[in-house]
């Protein structure tokens, strides 16, 4: 979708795309800011620019698409006095309570990377994959199988053409594919009672009851996505290949998990060199139905929004040693909750043996740990609980150098950037309302 269509469609969720695609002229800086509709508001802003000696070359206005009592202003200005402009933007946000978007300026090294502000904007990078699903490495079990390669392209094309809000297309799996799934399903299910965490074992029977989890049936992503939304608000989205860490984590901020639909090659049912539907549905999905784990996963995603590249790498490493290969305590025992463990018959047994090194989850240390991707992990990190891991993650996120905080609004399915007084007041009002509900409930159960 091009920027001209965004302007004409009137869709407020396309605002960020329109901003980013806006062309930049030499020596000209463009801003969009919103103000409450009140007498003298715009004059106060213009006086601020005048006092700082910054010349405006263009200005236009329109009613806000997000707030009925506000107007949005688009301005072009000369970019000669950059330090003064920084002070003005700060003043607009803190003193006047304006929401400011900077459209164009020569980017500095510490510029905040773009991130999606609405769930619809996940469409923008869902196909910016590192490898296309139909492309296989020479050592892949299905590399020399033309039928398998053609099948992989079918799955990749489904994901490539998917857009948010559409039902996930249903797939008719072949008998060979169902046989491969059945082998993996049957073997892993024998280990879950003794090796998987409580949350996984609690949800798994519900998936069998409501989502078609059976040895002779590969469940459909649409059915599972609807089930997860009813449990925790998480949803699945088909993906055509591997996303970058930044893009994948950004999806989690919206409680969206990018999932494959293809299955591993039939010649090696107990091995896959990449995530497949066995890994996604048997490893990841059960935990996304647990409220505490779902919140922990979303916290990782929220921490990644606008984070510098080096912190994205750290967060991806944290994700690896928790969501993919994490262990947790249950009484005096250790159990697996990582999807990479819960979908691997061999490593699920290995991780709870005496062979690997076991360390407590300390994110400052865990985030720096190197790891192999083609063999069993030599070291695993143990969380005291999902609640404990979540609190550690929040403290770790506070060390990320970005000039704002973020929160997810589940009603609008948008990311709110908390960088001005108005946003903080709205958040305080929301918290105050929730505390009122809590106090009222406490009084009734005394």
- The pairs formed by 107-115 with CB atoms below 8 angstroms and a separation of 24 or more are 110/308, 110/401, 112/306, 112/402, 112/403, 113/246, 113/306, 113/307, 113/308, 113/309, 114/16, 114/20, 115/250, 115/304, 115/305, 115/306, 115/415
Question: Using an 8 Å Cβ cutoff, are 33 and 100 in contact?
Answer: yes
Distance separating alpha carbons of residues 375 and 57, to the nearest angstrom: 60
Question: Using an 8 Å Cβ cutoff, are 361 and 328 in contact?
Answer: no
Q: With left for phi above 0 and alpha for psi between -120 and 50, is residue 404 left, alpha or beta?
A: beta
Question: Using an 8 Å Cβ cutoff, are 90 and 40 in contact?
Answer: no
3-state helix/strand/coil string of 138-158:
CCCCCCCCHHHHHHHHHHHHH
Alpha carbons within 13 A on the beta-carbon side of 316: 16
3-class DSSP state for residue 414?
strand
23 backbone dihedrals φ, ψ, rounded to 5°: -70, 145
Tokens representing residue 396 in the block? 């770790």
Q: Give the contacts of 268 (CB within 8 A, at least 6 positions apart).
A: 141
Residue in the structure block whose two tokens are 């950004």 = 250
Which of 12-26 are b and which e, b meaning 16 or more Cβ less than 10 Å from the residue's Cβ?
ebbbbbbbeeeeeee
- The pairs formed by 13-21 with CB atoms below 8 angstroms and a separation of 24 or more are 13/118, 13/120, 13/121, 13/414, 14/120, 15/65, 15/66, 15/117, 16/114, 16/116, 16/117, 16/118, 16/121, 17/121, 17/124, 19/101, 19/103, 20/103, 20/114
Distance of CA 249 to the CA centre of its chain: 4
256 backbone dihedrals φ, ψ, rounded to 5°: -120, 125
104 backbone dihedrals φ, ψ, rounded to 5°: -155, 130
Question: Using an 8 Å Cβ cutoff, are 40 and 63 in contact?
Answer: no
Q: Which of the residues are catalytic?
A: 279, 284, 324, 343
């Amino acid at each position: 979708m091009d920027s001209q269509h965004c302007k004409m469609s009137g869709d407020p969720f396309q605002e960020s795309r329109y901003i980013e695609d806006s062309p930049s002229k030499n020596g000209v800086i463009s801003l969009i800011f919103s103000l409450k509709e009140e007498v003298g508001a715009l004059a106060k802003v213009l006086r601020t620019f005048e006092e700082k000696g910054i010349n405006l070359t263009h200005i236009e206005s329109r009613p806000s698409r997000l707030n009925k009592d506000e107007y949005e202003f688009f301005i072009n200005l000369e970019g000669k006095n950059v330090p003064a402009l920084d002070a003005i933007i700060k003043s607009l946000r803190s003193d006047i309570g304006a929401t400011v978007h900077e459209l164009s300026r020569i980017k500095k090294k510490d510029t905040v990377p773009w991130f999606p502000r609405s769930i619809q904007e996940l469409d923008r990078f869902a196909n910016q994959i590192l490898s296309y699903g139909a492309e296989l490495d020479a050592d892949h079990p299905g590399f020399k199988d033309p039928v398998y390669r053609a099948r992989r392209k079918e799955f990749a094309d489904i994901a490539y053409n998917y857009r948010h809000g559409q039902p996930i297309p249903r797939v008719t799996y072949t008998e060979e594919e169902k046989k491969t799934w059945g082998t993996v399903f049957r073997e892993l299910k024998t280990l879950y009672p003794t090796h998987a965490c409580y949350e996984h074992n609690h949800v798994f029977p519900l998936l069998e009851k409501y989502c078609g989890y059976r040895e002779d049936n590969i469940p459909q992503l649409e059915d599972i996505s609807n089930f997860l939304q009813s449990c925790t608000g998480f949803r699945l989205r088909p993906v055509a290949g591997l996303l970058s860490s930044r893009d994948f984590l950004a999806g989690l901020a919206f409680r969206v998990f990018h999932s494959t639909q293809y299955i591993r090659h039939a010649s090696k049912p107990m091995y896959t060199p990449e995530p497949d539907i066995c890994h996604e549905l048997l490893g990841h999905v059960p935990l996304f139905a647990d409220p505490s784990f779902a919140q922990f996963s979303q916290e990782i995603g929220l921490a990644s929004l606008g984070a510098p590249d080096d912190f994205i790498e750290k967060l991806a490493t944290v994700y690896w040693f928790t969501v993919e290969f994490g262990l947790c305590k249950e009484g005096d025992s250790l159990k697996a909750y990582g999807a990479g463990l819960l979908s691997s018959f061999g490593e699920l047994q290995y991780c709870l043996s005496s062979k690997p090194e076991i360390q407590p989850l300390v994110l400052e240390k865990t985030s720096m740990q190197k790891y192999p991707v083609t063999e069993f992990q030599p070291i695993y990190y143990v969380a005291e609980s999902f609640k404990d891991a979540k609190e550690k993650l929040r403290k770790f996120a506070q060390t990320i150098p970005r000039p704002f905080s973020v929160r997810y609004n589940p009603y609008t399915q948008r990311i709110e950037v908390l960088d001005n007084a108005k946003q903080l007041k709205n958040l305080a009002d929301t918290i105050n309302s929730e505390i009122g509900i809590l106090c009222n409930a406490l009084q009734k159960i005394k």
